[in-house]
Structure formats: C-alpha cells, structure tokens
Structure 1
Amino acid sequence: MSSSSSMSRRVFLQGMALAGVMGAMTFRPLRAAATPATETAPGRAQQAPLFPQAPLMQQPFALLPTGSIKASGWLMRQLRIQAGGLGGHLDEFWPIVGPDSGWSGGKGESWEDGPYFLDGLVPLAWQLDSPQLKAKAMRFIDWTLDHPWENGMFGPRSNDDWWPRMVMLKVLTQYHELTGDARVVPLMTRYFHYQLQALPARPLRDWGRMRWQDELLSVLWLYQRTNDARLIELAHLLKQQGYDWQGMFAHFPFTQKTDAEALRKQAGGSDAFMQDLGLQVHGVNVAQSLKASPVWSVVSGQATDRDAVHHQLQMLDTYHGLPNGMFSADEHLAGRSPSQGTELCTVVETMFSLELALAFTGDAALGDRLERIAFNALPGALTDDMWAHQYNQQPNQVECSLHREPWTTDGPESNLFGLEPNFRCCTANFHQGWPKFANSLWMATADQGLAAMSYAPCAVTTTVRGIAVVVEQSSDYPFRQSVSISLKPQHAVAFPLRLRIPAWSRGTRIAVNGMPVETTPGFTTIERTWAPGDTIEVVFNAEVIVEHGYNGALSFSRGALVYALPIEENWVEWRKRGPTHDWQVYPGSRWNVGIKPDVPVKVSEYAIGEKPFAGAAAAVKLSLQGQYVPAWKASEGSADPVPAHAEASADEDVQSLTLVPYAGAKLRITAFPALG
C-alpha cells in the first residue's frame, strides 16, 4: 500500500477485526445455482428483473438482467466491428491492460484502466458469445474474485483508492447476472462491510467523492439480492461523503467556458479549492452525475430527487449544449460553440447515466436524448473499423491535427484519431458504449410488463408474469423509420407492453396484428393477452427539423440522426501504435458555408452498408443549398465560432450541398451560420 493512501493503525485494526467476523459469516446463497465461471448459466437469460422493495422506493422501469437482450441486424454488425478492432484486441498489444495488469495479479497499471476495459469487454463478450473474449475477461475476473484481501478489500494491493473499485463492482454485477458465479456476492458483501467501517476514517476523496453514485448502483444491486440492512447504512454514508451534484446544479455557476485561468481566479489561491472546482466542471464527472439524483431517489423516496436530472440537463443544454446531443467538455465545461469538443469518456458515461435515469424516472424524453447520442456522438468519435478513436470530438471539426486550441485544458493531441490520444482513459472506457446500449433496449415495467425504450434490431428473452417470453425486434432504425416486433410467449399471457414514442415523430402509426392502435405522447401502452405469433408494426414520422443553436447557427436532424456537411478527408499517419496508428486528418475541400433558415431539403435513402455509420456509403443523405461565407475562417486547426451575422460571398453562386449522418463525416460542419 502506498504511503499516500495507507490506512491509520486504528482503521487497520478495525479491518483485521472485521476480517475475522467475515470469516465466520454464513452468506445466504442466491436462488440461481453457481455455474462454471466461463459459462452462461442455463436459463439465466429468462430471469425476471428485480424491482426495489421496501424501504426502497418503487421505480417505473427496471433494466433486464444482463444477457437478456441479444443484438441483431446492424447493431450486431457494430458489436462485431468493435470486437474486431480495439475492443477485442487491446489487451494483446497495450501494456496497460496486458498480462502485467495489476487487476490480473501483475505489477502494472492498478487503477481504473483494467476495470474500465472490463466494463465493456464483459457485456461485449457475452453479447457475441465469444469464447475468446470471455477468456480475456476471465483472466481479470478470476484473479479479482480469488484474491480478496484479508480485511475485505479486493483488487491490486498497490492501490487502495475507492474509485477504481467502483468500476470493478459494476463489472462484477454484470458478470454475475450473466453467469450466477457464486463467488461474487460474498466478495461484494465483505467489501461493503469493510467499507462501512473504514469510510469514517478514510472518506471518499477526489474521483471517488465525485462518482459515489456509481458505487451506490452496486450497493442497491446487492441489497436487492441479500436484504442486508447494512447496505442501506452504506448507501447513506456514500451520499453523505459524496459531492452534492443536485445542489451544484440547483444554483448552476458555470455558465460559460471554464478555462484554466478562470478556474484559478475563482479558486482565490487555494489549491484545495482549485482541485475541487476542477472536478466539478470535469466532463466525465458531470456525465456520471446525471444518474446521481435518480439513483439516490430510490433510497430517499423523494420525487424531487428522482426528477432533478431534468434541471441538470436543462442547465447543460442552456450553457454548454451541442447539436449532437452532448454538452461540451474538453475536458472541462466549455460553452456552446460547436468548435469546442467533448471527451469520448463523457459520451459513453452520459449514455450509461441516461439508460439508468430512463429506468428510474420513466421520462421518455431521456430516451430521445440517449438515441441522439448513441447514433451520432458515439460513432462520430471512432473510425469506422473502431481501430482508432478521438479523445475530443467537435461538431464543427475541420481538421484533426496537433494544435493547442481551442481546448480548455487538454493538449495538442486532443482530436487526433489514434490509440490513446491526449490521455488513455477513453482507450479503456469507450468499449462500454455499444454493449450497454444493446442491454438497455428493452426494460421491465413495474406493473409486470415490458417496454421498448430505444430502437435497434434485437431479440429479448425474459420472463413476464411467470411465463417465458421472447420478443424479436427487426428494424433498420435509425436509418429507416419502421419497426417490426414479434412476440413469442410460451403460451398466451396478459401483460402491458409500452412503446416509447419519440417527441420528434408526429403522427406515429402503430398496428397490432394489422389493427391500428391509438398512440399517446411519451409511451403508448398496449394492454392485451399476447399469444405466440402476435406482431406489432410501428412507423415513425421523421421530418427534417432545423434547429437553432449557438449564435443562431442552424443544425439539421431527421429522426434520431443529426446531419453534417462532410469535408474531404486526407488521412496522414503520424505514428504507428502496434496494429493501429495515430492519424492526423486534413481538409481537402471548402467548408465555410452558410444556409438560409427556410431552405428546402430533399431526403434520399440508400442501402445500409456493412459498416452502418460509414460516410463513404451513407444510408441517408440530405440535399440543400448554401453559400460560402468568406469571413468565417479557421485558426489553429479549428473553425472559428459560428458568426452571428453571416454574409454570403457576392462573387460566388449558390452551392448544392449534400449532408450525411453526423458520424459518417470525420471532418464536418454540423452547425451552419444562418444567412439572411
């Protein structure tokens, strides 16, 4: 244990005493039988989801156990691309998660990167039912479960930070839902009991203090399985020591770009205050905070806690919102200019927070936001083969090269595509984005039904009111606007089925076995007895929407997709990094165009390629006209902020423009100056 993080003698003795008590404890076994560690337990995919019981507050939806939903169609292709890229091979050449990782018994990296990597590798491996990927995951999981500390701690002994264990707990909960491994619950119980004793003398700090809600998820997960009252005590202690995100957003002080100089001025010379202030505006912390109030509401029982996420999102949209559904954070909150960026870690953590907040609040609008991020910001920061990623992505991204501007705190590699540009956290952490999205497509309802929360091709295997049910969903959404759902219960069973209706869809049409169903905003509920072979057809109405943003800039969306003007890309290899490369990308065409707000737009649809979001064969294109704006230029490799008053060139004709889905253009303009 390092000297900077060692426990006091009193806490050490408490831990040793607790270890003796733990050794004598008999833990209540789970209902599911234990299975070999690398196998999926038979029938585990048919588990009924668990809802909070008293004294916890009920929630409208609950995620199905990990493994209940299997991707298909284009989403399965996307997962296979991830496995064929960094997601499936990172440990083979990146020492951070290689054989010497502290999380598999080595002397290498022992902080957050190993757990981050597993947080995406575990759901990916079981989604693909890949023996190779499962074996990679088990190297870490077996070591972690088989080498607990004597006092109840677990993980590398060279690091006793609470934060990386918060991530590893999320890994273990997913793994247990997939396998029923009997080692998980005792290890988590011992750890939480130890932590309850240790936290008063060694409280949460730094990252753990800001991210306490991520551990609360695992505490509540275990409580639902053991009813251990001490876990509720721990939940209250985590809340007490954790940062008050709800209070910060209630009087939101960060209404402009927060650069390092501004932070120093606000700090008033106090190093401790400076550090805390930097953590408050750190994009990943903010992304993870979006789940804090909804998750805590299960313990507090307060609707005000449950609904606080809406105000948080409103503040972020108002002062830092971007057209791709994200907020700027490169890596601190950076204002509304679409030339500012967003860290990829922030994207995937926002997605995970929204998936949970959607379950805890039941607000369909969070599903709209989740889809916009998943179908735009997530693939937009990755190469089409997922062998390289960006640390920061920009909606208006005209060059990816070595420049210090316009980042608030990051370095010149910030928007390069590569193995670990700027900082390595995203290299390990981005893998959770697609697999967890797939696992959240459908949820259980509190009245013992099912709900379609997001739309993508998949198959659901679960239990509803004691009956095994399979739901198959086929669709090319979001590239197309129709969804087909087939229900296959073991035998006829009555239950409510809810379909999320996106706010952008006016005149959505739903039919059950060919008979029309009346739709309602938010969620449409269909209550009936479902028989094998019943079908549901859903057709959304996606019109092109012109959105007004920073300085009146115009952005174009249609359904869940945002569209951008692709700039010709010249990829230049900067350095080789094992089987991948770090790349700079330079523009080969003009980009500084403005568009009139009332411009007519034509929509054209094309075949959906093997790489769904690849710009070279875009599945949907928008055609419209614009004019060059000579005064709008670039400096330090970034487009200047969109001008509020743009004047078109008097010497050039109107230009025909073709916009493609945001993620298909790695150099792009997403927010255009408004002409006239």
Structure 2
Amino acid sequence: MHPRLTPVLSILICAASLLPVAGQIKPESKRLSIQDKFTALPYGSLSIGGFIGEKIDLCIDHRVMAQDIERLIAPFRLRNDEFWGFRSEFWGKWFTSAMLGYGYTPTPAHRTIIDKAVKELLLTQTADGYIGTYPDEHHLKDWDIWGRKYVLLGLLAYYDQVKDPKILDAAERVADHLILEAGPQSGVNLAETGWIGWKGLASSSVLEPVALLYQKTGKQKYLDFAEHIVQLWNKPNKLTPTGIRLVEEALNETPLWEMSGAPKAYEMMSCFEGLCELYRITGNHDYLKASQLLIQSIIRDEIMLVGSGSLAEIWCNGKMRQNDPMYQGLETCVTVTWMKYLYQMLRLTGESRYADQLEISLYNALLASQTPNGEWWSYYTGLMGERVPSHLQFPDVVMSCCVANGPRAMLLSPSWALMASADGIAVNLYAPMHGKFQSPGNQSFTLDISTRYPVTGKVEATLSIPRKERFSIHLRIPGWSRNTVITINGQRYRQKTVPGTYATLERVWSDQDKIEISFDMTSYVVDAPSGVPDAAIQRGPVVLAFDSRLVPFRHGVDVPPMYRYSFMKNKDRSIDVTLVENPPVKEIWMTFQVPVTDEAGMRHELPMCDYASAGNSWKEGNLFRVWIPQPFDFRHLYINNLGWRINVTDNAPRPEIPAMYQKEKDLQ
C-alpha cells in the first residue's frame, strides 16, 4: 500500500462522532421515491494518495482548515448588507467544504474547527429564526435568499455527520422564517426576488436545501415549499414576463443562451441540483429528464476541452468559441457547480459518462484553478494567458466567491472516486487509494489501488476480503480509452470493454485477488469546433498546453531557425508524444515531447505540459496556451497577435495572492 495511505490514529479516535444517533427521525430512505444507483462511501472510508491526494491534503490544510472563522461570522452579526451584498454566501460555501474535509480526515483538530464555526454562526440567529447578513428592511433583496441557501446547506452538512438535533432544529427555523416571508401564503413570488440581473435564478436555487430538509425531517411543509418553488418557474413575474420556465425549456432543449431566465451558468445549475433532490423525493420523471437534457445541452454547447464553461460567468455557446481570446472565461464557481451537478447525475443514474466528465474537469479546469500550495484559487481559468489569483470581492472577509467555492469540488473527489452499488462497488477515479467497503453479503473488505495514472495507463487493484463472496466490481472505462485491457489474477478478462461504459466484473472474489488494467493513453490532435485551423492535444483525460517556461521564445529573443510549425499527427489524428520522466521545471506535473514539422518538412520535438500545470508559477507571469494555430509561429504565439494585453518584459508587474491575505497568514 502507498505509504501516504497508512491509516491515521486520529481517524479511529473520531470515528464514533460519525455514527448515527439512536432514536432520531426515520431514515431518509423512507422518504425517497428514488434510490441512487451509486452512493458515496461512509466518511472516513477512503484515503487517496498520489498527485490528487496531495492536492486534496493541501486544500484541507492550507485553505479550508486555515480559514479565519471570525471574518466569515462578522457580517452575520452586523447584518448591514444592502445592494450587491453577498457576504452571506461565504460561511456556507466554506463550511460545506470544511465538512467534506472533516469527513475525509476526521481529526480532533478539525472537529474543533467545525464545532466552533457552527456555534458562532448560531449565536447570530434571531428570535424569528433568521440567519443572514441583511437588515430587516432589505430581506429578500439582492443576494439575501442566496445567502440563506448556503447557511442551510452548511447546517445540514454538519447534521449529516454529527447528528445533533439542535442543528437540525436551527436549520428548520431558518427555513420556516423564509417560508413565512416568501412561501405560498406570503404573497411573494420568490422567483422574482434577488438581484434583478439574474431573473430569480439565485433565489430559486434555495430549492436544494429545502428538498434536503424534507428528506431529513419528513415534514410536509418543506416538500410543499419545494414544489411551490418549481411551480413559480412557469408563472410570469416582473423580472421575466414568461417565467423562467427551467424545466419546460430544458425538456424542449432550448439553447442555454436563449432560455427565458438569465443564462447565468452557476445559478442555473444550482437550480437543477435542487431539482435532482426533488426528483429523489417525488419520482417525477420530468425532473430527471429535464436534468439529463440540460446536462446534455451543456456538454454539447458549452463545456470546453478542459472541462468547464462560461464567459463572464454566463453560457455563451462557448464550445464553439473556446479557441478565441476570452476575457473572464471559465469561472471557478462554474467549474465547481458543474462538477457537483455531474455528481448528482452519477449518483442517480450510475452512468459512466458523468464520471468521465468529472475526471476531465478535475484533471484540468479544477486543478488549474488552485494555487500550487492550496491556499488560494483563481476567479477565471482561461485557455491562454496567465494564471491570476482571484481578487478580493470583500476585503473585510478576505474572500471571493471562487476562493470559497473551489474547495467544494476538490473535496468532493473522494465521494465519487470509489462508490457503492446494490451489487458491489464502482471504481470511478484511478489514483493510489485505500478504500473500505461493506459487501452485499455484509462483510468488510478493502480495495487498494496502486498506479501513476494518468501519467501512465497502468492500474493495479488488490482485494482483501475475509471470505469468498460473489459480487460485482464496476470499472469505469473512459470514453477516450479506445483499447483497454483488463486481467484478473493474470488471466485476461474475456468480455469486450466498451469505451464510455463500465466493465462489470461479476465473480466470486477471494482474498488477494488482483485486477490489472491497461488504459490506452494515445494522444490525439483535436480540431477547434469553430472550424478555424486551430488545434489542441489531449492525452487520456489530460489536455496539453505550451508554457513559456518550457518554450521561452519572445519577440526578437531566441527565435528558432524555422518560424512556422505544425503538429505532426497520424492519419487517425493520433500524435506520438513522449513522456519526459524528469520534467525540467519542478512545478510542472507532466511534460511531454511533442513532434512537429517545420516549413521545410523537417521533424522537431517541442515540450508541452499538462494544462493544470501550465502557467502555475502564478507570481512569475509565465504564459501558456492550449489552442494553437496551425501552423504556428513562436514569434507571435505568446504575444499580442490575438489581442492579448500582456506585458512580457522582465520588469512587468506580476499577479499576486491578495496582500491582505498574505498579511493575515504572516500574523498567524
């Protein structure tokens, strides 16, 4: 087993705190019409090593558990938000990731942090149940309901693990107060509240915690409120004469940028996360079908090569435009919500295509958004230019929406990496891992995975189980792996592996059975969807990019003898890249030598790296680029030929993590 995966004593110390409390309300399953095909493992059941495990640990240690809690709580005490105030979202965004981090590493120190965060927040709850940052006269305006949504999500995340009935009661009081102000009997159309620009989407997304609250309490008033919110989507209001019609237009496959509501990517997907939870309760097939069709539209029209979308935070037919220079492209909040939405659909359907998309987003857009030491995040993550740390939206809180949100997707990874199914287990993420399971026959067993994936395509998994038992292991076969070979104890798996599906290995498993997988890591040249002669390279789930640290050509400096180059692709559009085992730049995870031809037809090799590492010096201002004109010219590749406004001189100012945050770290 990988040395990083050695069980930690503190996990055992805290395990009791994660057990359900006897005598509580009936199990959620009694209130659900639909059971998930795949479910996350119990908290504390999984350890991840390797590159992804390191990034998870850095996120927990340097961002989530290093948070100054007082800064997040202060706005709830002051309640002085008015126009454009959304400080109320920060506690809930941060806290939901803190609960994921605690569930992954439930140490006493982490328990102290989450307990303090909840205690301090509840001290701000008013007698009528309100927890928010707005004065009474500004309730329901701008981002007030949006903030209450995140308060509820945070409280419910704490209750899920700690099972303290006082926390559930506090969450109910928050919801009851909202129902009083904006429920069916209030005379208020919730879908026309909130900031006018996003046409009720932000407020409508409170559907998710309201549905979750019904799942946990079984109280009809919360289901009624949830259904009321969805019904409001089809009613005309002062912001949208036709209503935002989310379900109807998703079912009709209306282009996202033409939907009646605002095409705000983050808030729209948040509404559909709530719709997924409501589907679990009601079994209304239209809710599932609408969620599936919307996600198909997003993949078809918006998701770019690196697994995210949006321009200036809105849907924009971005898949066709992704090779253009983008100002404010690929917001981190969009990446996070996209991954959370995919996770919902993976749970509900058990379809591997959602895990495929999760993997691409994780290895590219998400990893690229986190600073190398895990302490900060970018606001936008483009496909060329520089990596720029997020600005501070509210200096008093020392936070931005994307810095608060990024860890939620990173720390969601253990939830979908290995999952349980009715007939066994599913392997969705290939990384060094140690997972603990309960078999269909109710015996405990473990699965240890050893691999360098996706650096290479070799994966080895070993089962440890007390007694022989028949069950299924579902192995995700990525859609990009055209030829996958599986062996069990050295014997080749005889059934055909189909890319984009699960290979279901159903057999009687014995102790120390070994599964070996060889994925096809062939690289391919991808043409720009817009039809212009631009190209990119994808190797497995990883997108490649040029980085000026590897190819340091600048105008008038170190210009190579031949100016124009083209990727040297084969007839099937594959390209024979070579992995560099010892990358020349230590901050870069993977480096490859890529064959190109010059104007004279001569072959050369040029270095490219994984997209997540491209530009990741952050403070040095190195430039990167994914989409490459064919042929390309290094005299212009990194400079202003496409309108970049980037100064690449040695004395150019470099982006930095906000100075106030650095000062806070120094004081600590």
The TM-score range, normalised by the shorter chain, is 0.7 to 0.9
| Residues 256 and 297 in structure 2, CA contact (< 8 A), matched pair in contact too | no
Question: Is 2:516 aligned against 1:543?
Answer: no
Q: Residues 318 and 151 of structure 1: is their aligned pair in 2 closer, same or farther, counting only changes over 3 Å?
A: same
More moved, 383-392 vs 345-354: 383-392
Partner in structure 1 of residue 610 of structure 2 = 661
Deviation, 1:77, is 1.2
Deviation, 1:379, is 1.6
More moved, 210-219 vs 195-204: 210-219
* CA offsets 1:619-673 (integer angstroms, 9 cap, x no match): 341412155xxxxxxxxxxxxxxxxxxxxxx699876322211111113221122
**Aligned partner (choices 546, 550, 557) of residue 538 of structure 2:** 557
Alpha-carbon distance in structure 2 between the residues aligned to 1:68 and 1:554: 42
Partner in structure 2 of residue 308 of structure 1 = 290
Question: Is 2:382 aligned against 1:394?
Answer: yes
Q: Residues 353 and 255 of structure 1: is their aligned pair in 2 closer, same or farther, counting only changes over 3 Å?
A: closer
Deviation, 1:483, is 2.4
SS at match of 2:114: helix
Question: Is 2:335 aligned against 1:347?
Answer: yes
Q: Residues 223 and 499 of structure 1: is their aligned pair in 2 closer, same or farther, counting only changes over 3 Å?
A: farther
Q: Where do residues 206-355 of structure 1 align in structure 2 (5 Å cutoff)?
A: 206=194, 209-211=200-202, 215-241=206-232, 243-249=244-250, 250-253=252-255, 280-289=262-271, 291=273, 293-334=275-316, 335=318, 336-338=321-323, 339-340=325-326, 341-355=329-343
| RMSD over aligned Cα atoms | 4.1
| Residues 606 and 618 in structure 1, CA contact (< 8 A), matched pair in contact too | no
* CA offsets 1:51-76 (integer angstroms, 9 cap, x no match): 84566233322333444433233322
Partner in structure 1 of residue 71 of structure 2 = 98
Partner in structure 2 of residue 175 of structure 1 = 158
**Aligned partner (choices 574, 578, 592) of residue 604 of structure 1:** 578
Partner in structure 1 of residue 650 of structure 2 = none
Alpha-carbon distance in structure 2 between the residues aligned to 1:144 and 1:537: 49
More moved, 345-354 vs 188-197: 188-197
Question: Is 2:355 aligned against 1:367?
Answer: yes
Q: Residues 43 and 117 of structure 1: is their aligned pair in 2 closer, same or farther, counting only changes over 3 Å?
A: closer
Q: Residues 480 and 469 of structure 1: is their aligned pair in 2 closer, same or farther, counting only changes over 3 Å?
A: same
Aligned residue type for 2:546: L
Deviation, 1:220, is 4.4
Alpha-carbon distance in structure 2 between the residues aligned to 1:378 and 1:173: 25
Aligned residue type for 2:254: F
* TM-score (normalizing by structure 1): 0.72
* CA offsets 1:235-271 (integer angstroms, 9 cap, x no match): 3123223554333443535559xxxxxxxxxxxxxxx
SS at match of 1:474: strand
Question: Is 2:46 aligned against 1:63?
Answer: no
Question: Is 2:196 aligned against 1:186?
Answer: no
Q: Residues 296 and 181 of structure 1: is their aligned pair in 2 closer, same or farther, counting only changes over 3 Å?
A: closer
Deviation, 1:154, is 3.9
**Aligned partner (choices 502, 509, 512) of residue 533 of structure 1:** 512
Deviation, 1:394, is 1.2
Q: Residues 589 and 221 of structure 1: is their aligned pair in 2 closer, same or farther, counting only changes over 3 Å?
A: farther
Structure 2 residue ranges without an equivalent (≥5): 1-12, 234-243, 616-622, 633-668
| Residues 436 and 445 in structure 2, CA contact (< 8 A), matched pair in contact too | yes
* TM-score (normalizing by structure 2): 0.72
Alpha-carbon distance in structure 2 between the residues aligned to 1:232 and 1:482: 47
**Aligned partner (choices 420, 425, 429) of residue 450 of structure 1:** 425
**Aligned partner (choices 429, 433, 445) of residue 405 of structure 2:** 429
**Aligned partner (choices 63, 66, 79) of residue 89 of structure 1:** 66
Higher relative contact order, structure no. (Cα contacts within 8 Å, ≥ 6 residues apart): 1
Partner in structure 1 of residue 549 of structure 2 = 568
Alpha-carbon distance in structure 2 between the residues aligned to 1:353 and 1:229: 26
Partner in structure 1 of residue 643 of structure 2 = none
Q: Residues 673 and 290 of structure 1: is their aligned pair in 2 closer, same or farther, counting only changes over 3 Å?
A: farther
* CA offsets 1:186-222 (integer angstroms, 9 cap, x no match): 3334444454454122443337942567544444444
Count of aligned pairs:
559
Deviation, 1:126, is 4.1
* CA offsets 1:272-305 (integer angstroms, 9 cap, x no match): xxxx97x722232244355355444324424453
| Residues 623 and 658 in structure 1, CA contact (< 8 A), matched pair in contact too | yes
Aligned residue type for 2:159: H
Alpha-carbon distance in structure 2 between the residues aligned to 1:315 and 1:349: 15
Structure 1 residue ranges without an equivalent (≥5): 1-37, 257-275, 401-414, 572-584, 628-649
Deviation, 1:377, is 0.5
Q: Residues 527 and 332 of structure 1: is their aligned pair in 2 closer, same or farther, counting only changes over 3 Å?
A: same
Q: Residues 51 and 450 of structure 1: is their aligned pair in 2 closer, same or farther, counting only changes over 3 Å?
A: farther
Q: Residues 309 and 508 of structure 1: is their aligned pair in 2 closer, same or farther, counting only changes over 3 Å?
A: farther
**Aligned partner (choices 372, 385, 388) of residue 416 of structure 1:** 388
Q: Residues 328 and 292 of structure 1: is their aligned pair in 2 closer, same or farther, counting only changes over 3 Å?
A: same
Alpha-carbon distance in structure 2 between the residues aligned to 1:215 and 1:462: 34
| Residues 368 and 611 in structure 2, CA contact (< 8 A), matched pair in contact too | yes
| Residues 253 and 294 in structure 2, CA contact (< 8 A), matched pair in contact too | no
Alpha-carbon distance in structure 2 between the residues aligned to 1:245 and 1:66: 34
The percentage of counterpart residues that share the same residue type is: 19
Aligned residue type for 1:460: G
Q: Residues 653 and 506 of structure 1: is their aligned pair in 2 closer, same or farther, counting only changes over 3 Å?
A: closer
Deviation, 1:86, is 3.6
Deviation, 1:372, is 0.6
**Aligned partner (choices 596, 621, 624) of residue 625 of structure 1:** 596
More moved, 149-158 vs 163-172: 149-158
Aligned residue type for 2:566: I
Aligned residue type for 1:315: S
Q: Residues 230 and 626 of structure 1: is their aligned pair in 2 closer, same or farther, counting only changes over 3 Å?
A: farther
Alpha-carbon distance in structure 2 between the residues aligned to 1:670 and 1:46: 51
| Residues 255 and 319 in structure 1, CA contact (< 8 A), matched pair in contact too | no
More moved, 376-385 vs 218-227: 218-227
Q: Where do residues 190-205 of structure 1 align in structure 2 (5 Å cutoff)?
A: 190-198=173-181, 199-200=183-184, 201=186, 202-204=188-190, 205=193
